[in-house]
Amino acid sequence: MLRLQKFLAQSGLGSRRFCEQLIKDGTILVNGKVAELGSKVTDTDDVVHAGKKVLLKTADLKVIMLNKPPGVLSARKDEKKIKLVFDFLPRTHNEPDWIAVGRLDINTAGLMLFTNNGTLAHQLMHPSFEIDREYLVRARGNFDEQKRKNMLAGVEIEGEVYKFSDIVPGEKQSSNQWFSVCMLTGKNREVRQLFESQDLEVSRLKRVRIGPIFLPSTLREGACINLTEAQIKELQEYGK
């Protein structure tokens, strides 16, 4: 027997806090009646959300990493028949429905994580957990200390403040320069827009780390591997 909010979270609806709010909003039915906060259920109870039966997931917690190639879309479906990240994931009858932990835009390569656990996915994506991400960037243009300070202090772009938590200039190649940058958020095209705000044009972008998980240099583009139990535990504890 489980508390209802834990049951909902383990079923993949979201974090316990989110599931608790669903109960408070009266959107959860248990055996045909509106559920109350604090109630307990078993897997034999009829739990319904948004007209659909909620099933407790019994699969072991799994997380896989993918080295996403550029030109691949971070989505499940696309009418234009563009290659999707889910096309690269394991597909056997025993595999779970993978949840993408954040996205990368179509031209960005590198580390993506997928899990079969909705609670963990929510934890890794929600800004309150402050899971940092690291990227390698190649950009064209003149870079100086003032631009570095601007990107660390924060730049307002279309009403939102974007900023890096760290930026380390690297090797210069003609008019291009490499950078290692870190940030605590994952808004769409955030890295590119920050560089563009300082008149720097990004020509290559690759995510190499999410929290404690680094992209192995040996993992080829388009390949994926399972995280170890130790790595998954690190993810669960990171930022708490």
pLDDT tens column, 170-216: 999 888 999 999 999 878 889 999 999 999 999 999 999 999 999 99
Name the CATH superfamily, with its identifier, for domain 132-210.
Pseudouridine synthase (3.30.2350.10)
pLDDT tens column, 108-143: 999 999 998 877 888 888 777 788 999 999 999 999
Joined together, the tokens standing for residue 174 give: 């003609």
Catalytic residue among 105, 132, 166, 199: 105
Note the CATH architecture for domain 2-53: Roll (3.10)
Topology of the domain covering 63-128+220-237: Alpha-Beta Plaits (3.30.70)
Is 105 considered catalytic here? yes
Please give the residue that has the higher pLDDT: either 54 or 65.
Answer: 65
Whether the pLDDT of residue 76 is over 90: the answer is no
pLDDT at 42: 77
Rounded Cα distance, 184 and 2, in Å: 33
What is the three-state SS of the chain? CEEHHHHHHHCCCCCHHHHHHHHHCCCEEECCEECCCCCEECCCCCEEECCEECCCCCCCCCEEEEEECCCCECCCCCCCCCCEHHHHCCCCCCCCCCEECCCCCCCCEEEEEEECCHHHHHHHHCHHHCCCEEEEEEEECCCCHHHHHHHHHCEEECCEEECCCEEEEEEEECCEEEEEEEECCCCCCHHHHHHHHCCCEEEEEEEEEECCEECCCCCCCCCEEECCHHHHHHHHHCCC
Please give the residue that has the higher pLDDT: either 222 or 82.
Answer: 222
Q: Where are the domains positioned within the chain?
A: 2-53, 63-128+220-237, 132-210
- Residue 156 — very low, low, confident or very high, per pLDDT cuts 50/70/90? very high
pLDDT at 33: 93
The pTM (predicted TM-score) of the whole model is 0.74
